[in-house]
Amino acid sequence: MSFSSLLLQQTINGLSLGAMYALLALGFTLIYGILELINFSHFNVFMVGSFIAMWTLQSFGLSGQSIILTGLPLVGVLLAAFAVTMLASGTLGVVIERVSLRPLRGITGPAAMITTIGVSYILFNIILVTVGADAKNFPNPLPPMRWHVDGAVLELREVLIWVVSLVLMAGLWLFVQKSRLGKAMRATAQDPEAARMMGVDVDRVIMTAFFLGSALAGAGGLIFGLYYNFTSFIIGFTAGLRAFTAAVLGGIGNVPGAMVGGILIGLIEAYGGQFIATEWADVIIFSILVLVLVFRPAGLFGRLAPSKS
């Protein structure tokens, strides 16, 4: 392969990984923007999401990569799988907030953050104990369609990942910018007390942020399965940490920043793996994180803390 086709190939791979990190990074950013809370349970909501996706696909009679669907059945199964996974993951996020975080509201200090680490471990261990430690084969009903472009290979699953991620991110963007509840979310992130005095029910806004963030993490979990053809109880940490890095890179609290940050991290991982070495991917990613934090503490696009002005 020539250098330019390698570059193109890794751009394709990087965009797919990046789309997944971006979906996951949005959850960190939505919740941080409103609560100034780093929600570590998000790592494993993503992991649980990929299991929910796997079970959903299995419930349609799919297993492994041997059963291929095309046309309407494929579209229907995928739509249903995304819908069920996102609803269930979103609900999981809402339950986590309601049970473990709302009682801590108003308590300053690290209590809430530590709680999210605890919840993350609980989810991790529930899956470990009930499902087991071995990696599970993830059903993939996509036909093996592929296109050759300038020496690089573009597979159907990558196109699917891009389209789904684009639709979800555009949907989130529209929701946050245009809907009444979305505007209440932005207002709450910018000045929670003033938002309350406009009549905003802040608990409802927080619940919405958890639902949306967790639903997107679930979609990310489904994409992970389709991309790697497996899932496991362990996948939350690496992907979660990279997505968190993406959110910080884009400026945590900043929605478009998380999208761009996710894509950047995906591309860095792909290029680094190709041109340096896969084992060095995390070293490169986190070195970039450190550099960004040293030189631009508020991330590439700014907004560290909700402004209280």
Task: Check residue 307 for interaction with another protein (CB under 8 A).
Answer: yes
Query: Closest approach of Cβ 197 to another protein, in Å?
Result: 5
What are the angstrom distances between the C-alpha of 294 and each of 32, 107, 157, 290, 300? 20, 30, 37, 6, 11
* Segment near another protein (CB under 8 A); pick from 86-94, 134-142, 178-186, 258-266: 178-186
Tell me which of 80, 91, 156, 191 binds another protein, using CB under 8 A.
191
Task: Count the residues of the shown chain that bind another protein, applying the rule CB under 8 A.
Answer: 18
The owner of tokens 């690089």 is 152
Residue 309 in the binding site for another protein (CB under 8 A): yes
Least Cβ distance, residue 127 to another protein (angstroms)? 38
Q: Which helix (H) or strand (E) holds 137?
A: strand 136-137
Confirm or reject binding of residue 155 to another protein (CB under 8 A): no
CB of 186 to another protein, least distance (A): 6
Long-range contacts of 109-118 (CB under 8 A, 24+ apart): 112/35, 112/37, 113/37, 113/38, 113/40, 116/37, 116/38, 116/39, 116/40, 116/41, 116/42, 117/40, 117/41
d(CA 112, CA 35): 10
Interface segment toward another protein; rule CB under 8 A; list 57-65, 119-127, 176-184, 276-284: 176-184
Contact pattern from residue 254 through residue 273 relative to another protein, giving x for each residue in contact according to CB under 8 A and a dash for the rest: --------------------
180 touching another protein, by CB under 8 A: yes
- Residue 146 and residue 140: Cα distance in Å, rounded? 15
274 binds another protein per the rule CB under 8 A: no
100 in Cβ contact with 119 (< 8 Å):
yes
Q: How far does Cα 125 stand from its chain's mean position?
A: 21
Q: Show contacts with another protein in window 197-256 (CB under 8 A).
A: 197-201
Given the rule CB under 8 A, which of 10-18, 186-194, 223-231, 271-279 is the region that contacts another protein? 186-194
Q: Which residues pair with 155 in a beta bridge?
A: 146
Site for another protein, rule CB under 8 A: 180, 183-184, 186-187, 190-191, 193-201, 307, 309
